[in-house]
Amino acid sequence: MIAKNIKGKSFKGCVSYVMNDTATLLETEGVFADSTRNMIHSFAMQRSGRKEIKQPVGHIPISFSPEDKPRMTDDFMLQLAKEYMQEMGIKNTQYIIVRHHNTDNDHLHIVYNRIDNGLKLISVNQDYKRNIKICKKLKDKYNLAYGRGKEKVKREKLDNPDKVKYKIHDAIKTALPYCKSEKDLQTVLGFMKIKTEFKLKRNTNEIEGISFSLNNISFKGSQIDRKFSFGNLRKEFEKNRQTQEKQQLEKKKQQERQEKQVSEKPKKYAPPTKRNLVLLGVELSPEQEKVLKAGGYIFLENMTNKDGKSKFSSYIFLNDEKDRVFSSKENPDSFVKHGKYEMRIRDKILVEKGYVTQVKVKWYGIGTFAYPYLWKDNIADVEYKESWNDPRVPKEEKTQREINKRQNISDNLKKSRDKRI
């Protein structure tokens, strides 16, 4: 059971979102429920009594683990929602409780008026800490499963805005280990078309908050994940800086030790010093080289363009022969539609560069993949060719393989007949 408390300005937008085609209205209080329009009007009427309140909308999505799915009847979910509201102090006010059926995991939405029936404002102070405490209390009381983190969420089943939120979450998680400052993170996310904005203090212009937006949908860092609040991100930047400084110091000490060992031995016995691979002015660590040679990808910053002046950052991967480097602004293992297939970005790049590539494509059913060979006879061709056999194997070799195969079958049959005789 996971809940999130959201404040908003517009009942129209919030109610319209939760009352979608998959919605089941479990309970209402204080609103006309015969239509979405009348629900919005009911909330707006009470809200008009306190026009100075800028965020009168209370919105609480609550989702439950797939392990609890067999228990999630409408009555049980309604009971959990009402107990949660009672514990959070949400009472004596208008609300609707709506169950959604548009994802695999059961979830519901509570929309309530923060301006109660007495025109008093329902406080949300310390709601984050209270939310965690109350969710744990209800999970323990009803023996509900504890969540397993955002990594287990099926992204392909999400709709906006959750779809955008998780895309931003995954992008920040991928980029963060390489960032030592807010500017680094802003630059890397910019390659993924994610906009980063900072909230500044009025008097000092110091950064005190951070938000991210994609496709005109925006979230504060803490709304995406508490570990992505600006305070927590700043701690990660500092850790990354310290880690890099330690690595550089250790590398310097290691070089000094090697130089000392070489100077103490006769030159003819001096062991050769392994040189690290350098890509566009950036020296790779042994771990990065190992990842590339194993068919993975890395993210490099401050590489030098062909003009020798401007800098850029990008994902890096190798072709199958491991003899050429390719770059991508987006995660190379992300999938993109190309022709009739949905394939990895890295495979699309190789096909468009004229390579015969065994491509990983999404197939029928979730989590199922196929591996056809795709290529272009000419790089300028719009469409690619495909084969389920490797087109690079000469025809004569294929024919000889078939002859050998048939000969082996014939020899085995002959041996079997001889044994029976």
Burial 23-33 (b: 16+ CB within 10 A, else e): beebebbbbee
**22 and 131, same structural domain?**
yes
pLDDT of the residue at 201: 87
- Pair (233, 112) in one structural domain: no
In a domain, 402, yes or no: no
- Whether residue 413 is contained in a domain is answered as no
Whether the model clears a pTM of 0.75, i.e. scores above it, the answer is no
Q: Each residue of 84-117: pLDDT tens digit?
A: 999 999 999 999 999 998 777 789 999 999 999 9
The first and second tokens of residue 127, run together, are 């709601």
Q: What is the pLDDT of residues 175-197, one digit of tens each?
A: 888 898 988 899 989 888 999 99
pLDDT band at 311 (very low <50, low <70, confident <90, very high): confident
pLDDT the model gives residue 99: 94
Same domain, 166 and 196: yes
Looking at the fold, whether 12 and 67 belong to one and the same domain comes out as yes
Q: Are residues 132 and 10 in the same domain?
A: yes
Rounded mean pLDDT of 194-220? 90
Residue 93 tokens, joined: 């006010």
pLDDT mean over 401-414:
62
**pLDDT higher than threshold 90 for residue 74:** yes
Domain termination site, one of 242, 271, 300: 271
**How confident is the model over 335-375, as pLDDT tens digits?**
999 888 899 999 999 999 989 999 998 887 667 888 899 99
- For the chain, the domain total comes to 3
Same domain as 104, residue 70: yes
Q: Where does a domain end: 236, 271, 306?
A: 271
Q: Judge if 137 and 186 occupy the same domain.
A: no
Q: Which of 219-223, 269-273, 356-360, 380-384 has the lowest mean pLDDT?
A: 269-273
In a domain, 394, yes or no: no
Region 280-302: mean pLDDT is: 87
Distance of CA 417 to the CA centre of its chain: 61
Mean pLDDT of the chain: 85
201 and 125 in a common domain: no
pLDDT of 276 higher than 70:
no
The answer to whether residues 303 and 365 belong to one domain is: yes
Q: Is residue 357 part of a domain?
A: yes
Residues 6+ apart with CB under 8 A from 29: 93, 94, 95, 96
For residues 241 and 185, the answer to whether their CB atoms sit within 8 Å is no
Tell me the residue ranges of DSSP E strands in 12-104.
Answer: 24-29, 57-63, 95-100
Structure tokens at 252: 């310097």
Q: How confident is the model at residue 411 (pLDDT cuts 50, 70, 90)?
A: low
More confidently predicted of 394 and 78: 78
Is the residue at 70 inside a domain?
Answer: yes
CA dist., res. 199 & res. 222, Å (int)? 13
Of all residues in the chain, the percent with pLDDT exceeding 90 is 37
Verify that 138 and 54 share a domain, yes or no.
Answer: yes
Decide if pLDDT at 397 tops 80.
no
End residue of a domain, out of 95, 113, 148: 148
Higher pLDDT, 394 or 387: 387
The reply to whether 41 and 65 lie within a common domain is: yes
Residue 219, classed as helix, strand or coil, is strand
Domain that holds residue 140: 2-148
pLDDT at 43: 94
Q: Is the pLDDT of residue 394 over 80?
A: no
Domain co-membership, 294 together with 242: no
String of DSSP letters for 162-215: HHHHHHHHHHHHHHGGG-SSHHHHHHHHHHTT-EEEEEE-TTT--EEEEEEEET
Please check whether residue 404 lies inside any domain of the structure. Answer: no
Residue 400 lies in a domain: no
Residue 6: name the closest of 62, 46, 52 by CA: 62
**Does any domain span residue 418?**
no
CATH of the domain at 105: 3.30.930
Structure confidence at residue 280 (pLDDT) = 79
